[in-house]
Structures are given as C-alpha cells and as structure tokens.
Amino acid sequence: MKSSGTTALAPASLSTHRLLHAPLPELLAEHGVEVVELEADPGFTGGSFVRGDGSVLFVRPAGRPVVEWEITARALLGRVLRVPLPPVPAPFEVTEV
C-alpha cells in the first residue's frame, strides 16, 4: 500500500482503538475520505493521496478480499491522520512517497 502527499489532515481525536475497531464506512465518512475502486496489479493493495485542499482520496483495488481492504484502509487512515498504530501484518507494508 502506498501513501502520498505531504499534507496530513489536522490530527483528529481519533484513538488507536477507535481506528482499529469502529466500522470502516463510519470512519471514512467521518473523515471525508473519498474511495475510488480501480483495476490494479496483484501486488497493489491500496493507496492514499492527500490533495492540496486537504481532502483525502483512497484507491481500492477491484476484486480484492474485503479483509485486505479493512487492513489497508485502516493503515492508510492512521498514516494520514498520524494515529499511532501497531505494524501492519506481513506481507503488508506502508510506503510513503
């Protein structure tokens, strides 16, 4: 998964526990995250981009398992909002560009 953009959203009162356990659609809506689904290479599990206006775009690869998206989206949101998170499980990795 890739995370890009140097402008993070203002840190929210989002705890690590809430990020890991709240319903994902609720979290994404709460933080105004737009999600687009695209065909992608098998090794790509998702990405994020913080636009110049501070809005956030997540890219979700089409046809991938829901559990994979849950892990990816929560890791990306945590990175964008600067919420401390435990390391993502292998074989995932977060790369900032």
DSSP conformation letters of 16-56: HHHHHHS-HHHHHHHTTEEEEEE---TT---EEEE-TTS-E
Can you list the residues of the chain whose pLDDT is less than 70?
Answer: 1-13
**pLDDT (0 to 100) of residue 94:** 75
pLDDT at site 3: 52
Q: What is the pLDDT of residue 18?
A: 94
Predicted local distance difference test score (pLDDT) of residue 6: 40
Look up residue 53 and give its two tokens: 């206006």
How far are the Cα atoms of 14, 18, 82, 96 from residue 22, in angstroms, in the given order? 10, 5, 17, 25
69-72, Cβ contacts within 8 angstroms, sequence gap of 24 or more? 69/24, 69/45, 70/24, 71/45, 72/1, 72/45, 72/46
